[in-house]
Amino acid sequence: MPEIHHISAETHDRLQAELTDLTGRGRIDIAAQIETARLLGDLSENGDYHAAKEEQGKMEGRIMRLKSILENCEIVADVGDSFDDSVVAPGLVVSIRFEGDDEVEQFLFGSIEERRTDIEVVSPGSPMGRALEGARAGQTVTYEANGNQLSIEIIAIEA
């Protein structure tokens, strides 16, 4: 069963636009780069050709990833004033403190595709995300990372 990606409507639109661009302009551009590189001669020693083919592989991988996300996504409503701040759920900001640390850190709980410049994202599928999902403010949860047990206290849950 495919992983369900919880994404905002804004992220859905951004990913759809990226997919459209890559399957249109992106494929045309990479095909032109490959053709230009072929004209340079012997393909076995042609660095430009190999670089263009590698770039094509990366682009096709991203296209497959975008298609998978968009086919298996659930749009998370803008939580605004109607969110339930008692449980960690996709689209919410979680303030946590690692055991033995005084610093409170904030994370957006959701798909890694929700990336922003102002806050880090923790995915529900990550070890930390699995521990946080469904937890409540004031609760301490543990998870394993790199062979170590880590405990985190959930300080607050916000929209």
Q: What would the DSSP string read from start to end of 67-101?
A: HHHHHTEEEEP--GGG--TTS--TTEEEEEEETT-
Which stretches of the chain are assigned E, i.e. beta strand?
5-8, 73-76, 92-98, 105-109, 120-122, 140-145, 148-158
pLDDT at 132: 96
pLDDT tens, the chain, 159 aa long:
778 888 889 899 999 999 999 999 999 999 999 999 988 888 888 889 999 999 999 999 999 999 999 999 988 876 554 556 679 988 889 999 999 999 999 999 999 898 888 899 999 989 999 999 999 999 999 999 999 999 999 999 987
Q: How many CA atoms lie within 13 A of 118 on its CB side?
A: 1
Q: What is the pLDDT, as a whole number, of residue 100?
A: 92
- The per-residue pLDDT for 81 is 47
pLDDT for the residue 116: 82
Separation CA 36–CA 45 (nearest Å): 15
